[in-house]
Chains A and B, each alone.
Chain A
Amino acid sequence: MASGRGGIPGPSRPCRLPLLFLPALLPLLVLLAFSFSPSSAVAAAASPGAMHNNNWAVLVCTSRFWFNYRHMANTLSLYRTVKRLGIPDERIILMLADDMACNPRNNYPAQVFNNENHQLNLYGDNVEVDYRGYEVTVENFLRVLTGRHESAVPRSKRLLSDEGSHILLYMTGHGGDEFLKFQDNEELQSHDLADAVKQMKEKHRFKELLIMVDTCQAATLFSQLHSPGVLAIGSSMKGENSYSHHLDSDIGVSVVDRFTFYTLAFFEKLNMYSNASLNSLFNSYNPSMLLSTAYYRMDLYERPLNEVIVR
């Protein structure tokens, strides 16, 4: 650090004396500023003392009625994957808008399949659904995200995340330009979602948030997001539809959507100890197989894409 007197010796009048030292102090100040700025930049990027220490998943299926079986199967496939890769039921909020497994139209009671070969029963023996049926509304969804519940709401229905949480938010259903349809009579708009995420960030309810959306024109749903630390993947761009993968003639309806099918195909190869990265997930999406362009938005995300999604 340079110090000492520099500058032009001026007239030795008392009121001008401090001014003499100004040029000398300037380099000192500049250097001090430099030393502070990296730490402040670091402080701005990550809240102090926030280490990643827990994972949460919020899985939402917004469609009702039997012909939307595939949306339920999508959500349950993700549920099964997330449980298998290590997130316990207490940290998963599962919202299913209708009951498919015990639906009278289901030939296979208590079983939900996402593939024609019926090899995997997604419903299993230990499923816990937190919000069901008529409870899946835009209001409840936003309450879960922002944490603003009535006092009587039990803990199992709350998202009790903190500033060290990584949260996976998966939404599926019917959607369109800047909205997602809830149960055929309500919509969630992209700016509502962006506001909820902003509230979450301000309340330190997450460290990193991954939003996956599997609906038609999915990418428009997160076009309004502006909070840092959020990564979003959508199954199609504006003007494109997301298609279902195949029809199961035994059950009678389509059983899974293409985007989720290929996402699952990627995850089925992993186990709890894999080190796969998000980059490889994105690279695995082949537009010709998806019949739509999977779009991801990374501008709000600081780290390079080399970590496993749910770890």
Chain B
Amino acid sequence: MAPPLSPPALRRLLLLVLSLLITSVAAENVEEFTEELLLRPLPDRKALAHFHFRSSAPPSAAPSRHHHHFPKAIAQLVHQFHIKELELSFTQGRWNYEQWGGYDPMSTNYAKPPGVELWATFDLPLGEIDATWKNLTHTLSGLFCASINFLESSTAFSSPRWGFKLNEGNLRYGALPREAVCTENLTPWLKLLPCRDKAGIASLLYRPSVYKGYYHSQKLKLASSKSFGIILDQTLTVVLQPDSVRGKQLHSADGQLQPSWSMKDLFNRKLSGKCLVSKSSRVFFEIEKNIVDKVDKSGTEASWTNEIFVLSSAPDRVLKEINNMDGHSSSICEYDVSNYNEDAPLDVGVTWKLPLIWSCTPAPYHANRFLMGSGNERGSISLSFISTNMHKQLFDVSNDCSIKAVVFQVVPWYVKVYYHTLEIFIDGNNKAISEVVDKINVTPSEDKLFPGTLEMLLRFPCSMQSAALSLDFDKGFLHIDEYPPDANQGFDIPSALVTFPEFNSSRSYPETDSLFVSPLLRTFKEDGVVKSYTEVLLVPLTTPDFSMPYNVITFTCTVLALYFGSLLNALRRRTGEEERELKKAGNPTMLICLPVYDAHISCVI
């Protein structure tokens, strides 16, 4: 039997317990910051790097209070504009759904349309939302060095009811497809982080390599409520081509090896420690389900080292996905950055030993959009869906099985869409609209006032291989002042969004640490319906001859000058007047200068 504790020890124990209790209670009112990085090899010899920074501030009664790590600019933004949810993304490049997957949490949440996309829901009466949206766009443009203020006018944003996200009318959505994204957008985004880009995972961001990628998208997501305060998620998703110095060996049997890469190859530097303010700092290496599948087939168990590939160092933990139906699940190797420092930096990477070809799970349909027609008067927009047969593995293909798809599209007013010309073709056969369209909500465009919004719920039969929708439009005329300086390039129609509400891309991983759940893994677990964005369309509109005002002024002035000149000349000029004046004066050396009315002076001695 253990000896009883002496009174001083007992007191110390009590104090310890009390302090633990107090800190655990106080911890709920403390700002937290976590940083994470996810690395994943992609089938087409590229690598995906996803940075995830989460900052949270507890709820407080007063809008003004002291902040420790949470950026004050964001807290002020949320309070001033009464924001419930906001998402702002800056993207350059197109997410390649065919190669990089369309059915995982990454492509659902972080594949964004090119340019700037901003949507926000407000906690205000419906009449005040438009004015608040306008002020919000200006503030964000100052905060992020982008011309988001172009979304202020009613011709640039729309308010979808259910096509984008179900809401009661307090959602506003706007996109600028042609906005350039460069270092000046990343700079203020990084300044919102407590350690900026000086320490921790953000120190990996070597700008030339980030902007050399095939796709990069930085996103800011805000959610605020009275119960949990404000949560700010900043993510940066980059798809890079690693310098394939090590990877170009040809394997004799099966073709080329995938390139071996590590963080040093991607970002030119290694991680030398975490941001000291962060609650946790981790690097994840994701081995996808299809890779696990193939490695298992080859005989060895797919852990961090096997016959086909080996990771550069042993992970601290390996998490296997749970609740997966067909038995194979992806796994994530976790590295805790706090175990590393400047003397022993962390450099996570993969070395391939045998060639491997795999594919990422796609969405049920590949959605593409393109323009049809020629000339400067009219054209058509066409949306095509090509089945990937992936749903056949998940659903029983019976006759009355159908797949729902929601289409949301905003078209600027100068592309005047005629919604009555909607035609739907399934497997090449023209179908009646009522057979395929369950619900449709159209807000037709009004010239110079608002864009045209289309929200459609379609029902496709499971056995369908391809479908196409088309809408005719007329090209409108703009006033000469409304043309941008490079008008001959054309005008953009922002990406359309196609959602498949019956398909869910969430994944759950075991929570090993009861006190702390990784925010990245938590976003993976959230309900995410499968989404894909279509391409941006470039519509050439008729441009006027911009030099015409100058030409008109020149011609008119010349004509008027000639007319009045000749008229006044004819009325006032007397022939032989100069000689008569001279004879009267009688001074041969005097110079007589008389103005002649066709605008020159003739001098006669």
In the bound complex, do residue B211 and residue A102 qualify as a contact, i.e. CB atoms below 8 Å apart? Answer: yes
Which of B92, B141, B212, B483 has the most CB atoms of chain A within a 10 A radius of its CB? Answer: B141
**Interface stretch of the complex, out of B131-139, B282-290, B323-331:** B131-139
Q: A274 vs B197: C-alpha distance in the bound complex, in angstroms?
A: 31
The answer to whether the Cβ of A42 comes within 8 Å of any Cβ in the partner chain is no
Q: Which residues of B contact A153 (CB under 8 A)?
A: 138, 142, 149
Within 8 A of B (CB), among A149-184: 152-157, 183-184
Q: A108 vs B486: C-alpha distance in the bound complex, in angstroms?
A: 24
The answer to whether the Cβ of A52 comes within 8 Å of any Cβ in the partner chain is no
In the bound complex, do residue B182 and residue A110 qualify as a contact, i.e. CB atoms below 8 Å apart? Answer: yes
In the bound complex, do residue A128 and residue B188 qualify as a contact, i.e. CB atoms below 8 Å apart? Answer: yes
Give the residue name and chain of the B residue nearest to A123 (CB).
B183
**Interface stretch of the complex, out of A132-140, A191-199, A279-287, A296-304:** A132-140
Give the residue name and chain of the B residue nearest to A133 (CB).
B147
Which of B183, B187, B211, B546 has the most CB atoms of chain A within a 10 A radius of its CB? Answer: B183
Q: A103 vs B181: C-alpha distance in the bound complex, in angstroms?
A: 9
Given contacts A132-B180, A154-B142, contact A185 B485 (CB under 8 A): yes
Q: How far is the CB of A78 from chain B (nearest CB, A)?
A: 16
The answer to whether the Cβ of A240 comes within 8 Å of any Cβ in the partner chain is no
The answer to whether the Cβ of A129 comes within 8 Å of any Cβ in the partner chain is yes
Q: A131 vs B210: C-alpha distance in the bound complex, in angstroms?
A: 23
The answer to whether the Cβ of B321 comes within 8 Å of any Cβ in the partner chain is no
Give the residue name and chain of the A residue nearest to B140 (CB).
A154
Contact with A along B127-169 (1 / 0, CB 8 A): 0000000110011011101110110100000000000000000
In the bound complex, do residue A102 and residue B485 qualify as a contact, i.e. CB atoms below 8 Å apart? Answer: no
Q: A156 vs B197: C-alpha distance in the bound complex, in angstroms?
A: 22
Contact with A along B200-238 (1 / 0, CB 8 A): 000000011011100000000000000000000000000
Within 8 A of A (CB), among B31-58: none
Given contacts A101-B182, A102-B92, contact A128 B135 (CB under 8 A): no
- With beta carbons under 8 angstroms apart, the residue of B145, B207, B484 that contacts A134 is B484
Q: A134 vs B491: C-alpha distance in the bound complex, in angstroms?
A: 14
Q: A224 vs B149: C-alpha distance in the bound complex, in angstroms?
A: 34
Q: Which residues of B contact A154 (CB under 8 A)?
A: 138-139, 141-143
Q: Which residues of B contact A54 (CB under 8 A)?
A: none
In the bound complex, do residue A133 and residue B183 qualify as a contact, i.e. CB atoms below 8 Å apart? Answer: no
Q: Which residues of B contact A101 (CB under 8 A)?
A: 182-183, 211
Given contacts A64-B486, A109-B211, A185-B485, contact A127 B184 (CB under 8 A): yes
Give the residue name and chain of the B residue nearest to A104 (CB).
B92
Q: A279 vs B187: C-alpha distance in the bound complex, in angstroms?
A: 37
In the bound complex, do residue B208 and residue A152 qualify as a contact, i.e. CB atoms below 8 Å apart? Answer: no
Q: Which residues of A contact B336 (CB under 8 A)?
A: none
We find that the number of chain B residues with CB closer than 8 angstroms to chain A is: 33
Q: Which residues of B contact A125 (CB under 8 A)?
A: 183, 187, 197, 207
In the bound complex, do residue B147 and residue A134 qualify as a contact, i.e. CB atoms below 8 Å apart? Answer: yes
In the bound complex, do residue A183 and residue B182 qualify as a contact, i.e. CB atoms below 8 Å apart? Answer: no
In the bound complex, do residue A134 and residue B485 qualify as a contact, i.e. CB atoms below 8 Å apart? Answer: yes
The answer to whether the Cβ of A12 comes within 8 Å of any Cβ in the partner chain is no
Q: How far is the CB of A243 from chain B (nearest CB, A)?
A: 25
The answer to whether the Cβ of A130 comes within 8 Å of any Cβ in the partner chain is yes
- With beta carbons under 8 angstroms apart, the residue of B141, B143, B187 that contacts A127 is B187
The answer to whether the Cβ of A111 comes within 8 Å of any Cβ in the partner chain is yes
The answer to whether the Cβ of A99 comes within 8 Å of any Cβ in the partner chain is yes
Which of A110, A125, A130, A154 has the most CB atoms of chain B within a 10 A radius of its CB? Answer: A110
Given contacts A127-B187, A135-B147, A155-B142, contact A109 B180 (CB under 8 A): no
Q: A65 vs B505: C-alpha distance in the bound complex, in angstroms?
A: 42
Q: A183 vs B141: C-alpha distance in the bound complex, in angstroms?
A: 21
In the bound complex, do residue A128 and residue B138 qualify as a contact, i.e. CB atoms below 8 Å apart? Answer: no
Q: A129 vs B188: C-alpha distance in the bound complex, in angstroms?
A: 10
The answer to whether the Cβ of B492 comes within 8 Å of any Cβ in the partner chain is no
In the bound complex, do residue A111 and residue B484 qualify as a contact, i.e. CB atoms below 8 Å apart? Answer: no
- With beta carbons under 8 angstroms apart, the residue of A123, A135, A152 that contacts B152 is A152
Q: A155 vs B141: C-alpha distance in the bound complex, in angstroms?
A: 11
Q: A76 vs B375: C-alpha distance in the bound complex, in angstroms?
A: 41
The answer to whether the Cβ of A126 comes within 8 Å of any Cβ in the partner chain is yes
Q: Which residues of B contact A184 (CB under 8 A)?
A: 485-486
Within 8 A of B (CB), among A259-276: none
The answer to whether the Cβ of A252 comes within 8 Å of any Cβ in the partner chain is no
Q: Which residues of A contact B139 (CB under 8 A)?
A: 152, 154
Q: A280 vs B429: C-alpha distance in the bound complex, in angstroms?
A: 80
Q: How far is the CB of A154 from chain B (nearest CB, A)?
A: 3
Q: A157 vs B188: C-alpha distance in the bound complex, in angstroms?
A: 14
Q: How far is the CB of A104 from chain B (nearest CB, A)?
A: 9
Q: A110 vs B187: C-alpha distance in the bound complex, in angstroms?
A: 12
The answer to whether the Cβ of B179 comes within 8 Å of any Cβ in the partner chain is yes
The answer to whether the Cβ of A86 comes within 8 Å of any Cβ in the partner chain is no
In the bound complex, do residue A102 and residue B182 qualify as a contact, i.e. CB atoms below 8 Å apart? Answer: yes
The answer to whether the Cβ of A124 comes within 8 Å of any Cβ in the partner chain is yes
Give the residue name and chain of the A residue nearest to B142 (CB).
A154
Contact with B along A47-81 (1 / 0, CB 8 A): 00000000000000000110000000000000000
Q: Which residues of B contact A130 (CB under 8 A)?
A: 142, 145
Q: A64 vs B489: C-alpha distance in the bound complex, in angstroms?
A: 13
What are 17 A-B pairs at a CB distance below 8 A?
Answer: A109-B212, A110-B212, A127-B184, A127-B187, A129-B145, A130-B142, A131-B147, A132-B145, A132-B184, A133-B179, A134-B484, A152-B138, A152-B139, A154-B142, A155-B142, A184-B485, A185-B546
Other than the given A153-B138, A153-B142, 11 more pairs (CB < 8 A) read A102-B92, A103-B180, A127-B187, A129-B184, A133-B180, A134-B484, A152-B134, A152-B152, A154-B143, A184-B485, A185-B485
Residues in B lying within 8 Å of A, measured CB to CB: 92, 134-135, 138-139, 141-143, 145-147, 149-150, 152, 179-184, 187-188, 197, 207-208, 210-212, 483-486, 546
Smallest CB-CB A-B distances: 3 pairs: A154-B142, A99-B180, A102-B182
